[in-house]
């Protein structure tokens, strides 16, 4: 075993589940992309809304598996003690996996309205909102798993060595759980509903998740570069400081057109325009630290993922976010393919890539070696480039579709109906689907890289 | 610069900055909620509308459509559909009712949800209510 603490190995289960659900997410992405160009594909068995719900919910669930696995791996090492309860971690794993599987299966097997009826949604309505479609009972299950997980992690952190990395991570995870509670607040008033819905969605991905992202990145960078902890921790503090300083009021960029007071047009524009700063700092941080490395870690591909996370999160969340964040621009782009373009690259560049970074670093260790054999690493690097370049093109094609959509539907003197415009931008959807298939190939190469052995017996 | 800017300073910016902006955000939220009656069309928020919102949610409409720009981008914006359909809830109901069970070959089609007359009425009025929310004149035109 190459791990410092035995209990870290519980992360392996979480990572395997994360990767498996990732595959499911991408398959449904391919289905959705096809439905964009072949309108009745799988209709009426898997209509678009169901496939999309599976696609986005799987994404969220697998990222949560990734974050939890990452925490179970990182926290003992940072805290310099075994995990409070590896057994609890294993029990929660199975609960979460089974609950997740049942929820996704129920989306596919039962009409959604029926599912709402069976689970008594009328009594305590929380269903039918984007990303938070899970039946109320499922949401309660998520809260229970999160509480158990936080208990386990907190007990470990608080009774061990406290580092900036594990404290920032813990704050991020706590925030994740706290803001999820807004998923239970569904008022009849649509404006209120939308306003507080963003407390989950925005304050997750443009708030506390950034804390998780930055701390995972910092951990891997310390390990692979050997750069002094003091330097890395200073970067970490300043990155998460900027993330929250810009990101909290940056929530305002979602309040422009949902029926709130007009000062949000200003507050949202100004603060969200600054949101790229922490992401740019993350890029600088990753490159700076790798340049100053004090050791050549044999796990080269983990370093590649770490650098990639810096660059792609800046492009996806920072640049593509800024592109449509100013209120006068957003007036035309709000709710178009521009949003879809940004969403895809931001989620991939920030959260998918950081989870793959920590998996890339930790998985070989849990399999008893410092790094994977050369050939496996080369395959993983191929998968890095295939998936990343494919995602760049998915984003560019959706941006193309979005610009055209904005023009034809909203900017021109003779605006056309939505469905007419959709026909006119078809070529971009075809290209996006092709790029999606390249992404899938990249993912298959990624899976294969776990099974590639060296020709010679591997160096331990 | 390295010596001047210490980890302690970075930490203070993190804690101080986050707490300050979190409190400011809470303050603005309180203010926003207080001002909502000016914009949120609550006069139209009847029991029928509330029921309509539930119908909207129970059929996962947001999985294809946007509503005030939020949702999926597969089907038209519905925040102004009432206006687009000639300020007519009956037209909305007729559209939902008329969807073919097996779709339209090769094209996108809304599923047939088999809503009851009561549900249809409710969801149509919910969309009428949504249309009355003051959104700083968004969407830019009636096409959504």
What is the pLDDT tens value at each position of chain A, 460 positions in all? 588 999 999 999 999 999 999 999 999 999 999 999 999 999 999 999 999 999 999 999 999 999 999 999 999 999 999 999 999 999 999 999 999 999 999 999 999 999 999 999 999 999 999 999 999 999 999 999 999 999 999 999 999 999 999 999 999 999 999 999 999 999 999 999 999 999 999 999 999 999 999 999 999 999 999 999 999 999 999 999 999 999 999 999 999 999 999 999 999 999 999 999 999 999 999 999 999 999 999 999 999 999 999 999 999 999 999 999 999 999 999 999 999 999 999 999 999 999 999 999 999 999 999 999 999 999 999 999 999 999 999 999 999 999 999 999 999 999 999 999 999 999 999 999 999 999 999 999 999 999 999 886 555 4
Restricting to B residues 35-74, those with a Cβ less than 8 Å away from any Cβ of A are 35-36, 38-42, 45, 49-50, 53-54, 56-64, 66-74
Q: Summarize chain B as % helix, strand, coil (round to 5).
A: 55, 5, 40
Burial pattern A19-45, b for ≥16 Cβ within 10 A else e, equals bebbbbbbbbbbbbbbbbbbbbbebbe
Rounded CA-CA distance B73/A451 in Å is 39
Cβ contacts from A onto B, under 8 A: 231
- Residues of chain A with Cβ-Cβ distance to B53 below 8 Å are 188, 190, 193
Rounded CA-CA distance A339/A349 in Å is 15
- Please, are residues A215 and A282 in contact by the beta-carbon 8 Å criterion? no
Residue in chain B nearest A251 by alpha carbon = B25
B62 → closest Cβ in A130, A234, A332: A130
Q: How far is A67 from chain B (nearest CA, A)?
A: 22
- Please, are residues A359 and A15 in contact by the beta-carbon 8 Å criterion? yes
Residue from B26, B44, B61, B69 whose CB has the most chain A CBs within 10 Å, to mutate: B69
Of how many residues is chain A composed? 460
Fold of B41-144: Cytochrome Bc1 Complex; Chain D, domain 2 (1.10.760)
B63 → closest Cβ in A52, A254, A416: A52
By the CB < 8 Å criterion, does B144 face chain A?
A: yes
DSSP labels for A415-452?
A: PPPHHHHHHHTHHHHHHHHHHHHHHHHHHHHHHHHTT-
Locate tokens 């707490």: which residue? B19
CA A419 to each of CA A48, A191, A424, B104, B109: distance values in angstroms, whole numbers, following the listed order: 15, 27, 9, 14, 11
Q: Is the ipTM above a cut-off of 0.95?
A: yes
Which residue segments constitute the domains of chain A, with CATH numbers given? 241-450 (1.20.210.10)
- Residues of chain B with Cβ-Cβ distance to A230 below 8 Å are 7
Contact B75 A418 (CB under 8 A): yes
A40 → closest Cβ in B10, B50, B109: B109
- Residues of chain B with Cβ-Cβ distance to A252 below 8 Å are 28
Statement: residue B2 has pLDDT above 80 = no
The two structure tokens encoding residue A188:
């009849």
Rounded CA-CA distance A135/A157 in Å is 33
DSSP labels for A93-149?
A: HHHHHHHHHHHHHHHHHS-HHHHHHHTTTTTS---SSTT--S-HHHHHHHHHHHHHH
A52 → closest Cβ in B41, B72, B77: B72
Q: What are phi and psi of A284, to 5 degrees?
A: -55, -45
* pTM reported for the whole predicted model: 0.97
A113 → closest Cβ in B21, B32, B59: B59
- Please, are residues A387 and A19 in contact by the beta-carbon 8 Å criterion? no
Rounded CA-CA distance A268/B129 in Å is 26
Rounded CA-CA distance A282/A223 in Å is 17
The two structure tokens encoding residue A334:
């709000």
């Amino acid at each position: 075993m190459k791990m410092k603490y035995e209990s870290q190995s519980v992360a392996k289960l979480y990572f395997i589940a994360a990767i498996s659900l990732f595959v499911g997410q991408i398959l449904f992405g391919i289905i959705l992309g096809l439905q964009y160009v072949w309108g009745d594909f799988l209709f009426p068995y898997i209509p678009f809304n169901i496939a999309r719900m599976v696609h986005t919910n799987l994404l969220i669930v697998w990222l949560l598996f990734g974050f939890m696995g990452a925490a179970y791996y990182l926290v003992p090492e940072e805290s310099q003690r075994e995990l409070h309860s590896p057994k609890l971690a294993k029990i929660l794993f199975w609960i979460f996996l089974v609950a997740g599987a049942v929820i996704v299966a129920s989306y596919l097997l039962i009409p959604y309205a029926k599912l709402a009826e069976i689970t008594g949604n009328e009594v305590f309505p929380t269903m039918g909102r984007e990303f938070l479609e899970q039946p109320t009972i499922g949401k309660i299950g998520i809260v229970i798993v999160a509480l158990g997980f936080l208990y386990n992690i907190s007990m470990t952190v608080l009774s061990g060595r406290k580092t900036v990395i594990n404290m920032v991570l813990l704050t991020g995870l706590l925030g994740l759980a706290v803001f999820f509670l807004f998923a239970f607040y569904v008022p009849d008033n649509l404006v209120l509903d939308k306003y507080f819905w963003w407390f989950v969605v925005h304050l997750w991905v443009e708030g506390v998740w950034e804390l998780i992202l930055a701390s995972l990145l910092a951990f891997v960078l310390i390990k692979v570069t050997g750069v002094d902890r003091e330097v890395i921790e200073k970067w970490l503090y300043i990155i998460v400081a900027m993330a929250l300083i810009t990101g909290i009021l940056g929530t305002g960029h979602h309040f422009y057109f949902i029926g709130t007071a007009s000062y949000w047009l200003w507050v949202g524009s100004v603060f969200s325009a600054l949101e790229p700063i922490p992401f740019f700092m993350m890029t600088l941080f990753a490159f700076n630290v790798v340049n100053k490395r004090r050791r050549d870690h044999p796990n080269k591909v983990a370093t590649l993922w770490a650098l990639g996370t810096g660059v792609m999160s800046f492009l996806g969340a920072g640049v593509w976010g800024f592109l449509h964040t100013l209120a006068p621009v957003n007036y035309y782009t709000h709710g178009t393919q521009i949003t879809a373009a940004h969403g895809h690259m931001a989620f991939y560049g920030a959260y998918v890539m950081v989870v793959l970074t920590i998996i890339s670093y930790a998985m070989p260790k849990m399999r008893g070696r410092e790094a994977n054999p050369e050939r496996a690493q080369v395959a993983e690097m191929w998968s890095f480039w295939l998936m990343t370049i494919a995602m760049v093109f998915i984003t560019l094609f959706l941006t193309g579709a979005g610009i055209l959509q904005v023009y034809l539907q909203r900017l021109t003197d003779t605006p056309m109906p939505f469905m007419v415009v959709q026909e006119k931008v078809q070529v971009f959807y075809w290209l996006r689907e092709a790029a999606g298939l390249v992404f899938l190939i990249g993912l298959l190469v990624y899976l294969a890289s776990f099974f590639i052995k060296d020709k010679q017996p591997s160096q331990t | 610069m390295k010596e001047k800017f210490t980890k302690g300073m970075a930490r203070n910016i993190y804690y101080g900055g986050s707490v300050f902006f979190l409190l400011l955000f809470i303050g603005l939220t309180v203010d926003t909620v207080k001002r909502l009656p000016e914009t949120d069309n609550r006069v139209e928020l009847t029991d029928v509308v509330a029921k309509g919102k539930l119908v909207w949610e129970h059929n996962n409409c947001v999985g294809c459509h946007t509503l005030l720009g939020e949702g999926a981008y597969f089907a038209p914006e519905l925040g102004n559909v009432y206006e687009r359909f000639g300020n007519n809830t009956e037209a909305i109901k007729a559209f939902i009712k008329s969807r073919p069970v097996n779709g339209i070959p090769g094209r996108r089609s809304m599923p047939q949800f088999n809503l009851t007359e009561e549900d249809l009425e409710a969801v149509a009025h919910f969309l009428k209510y949504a249309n009355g929310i003051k959104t700083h004149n968004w969407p830019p035109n009636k096409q959504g």
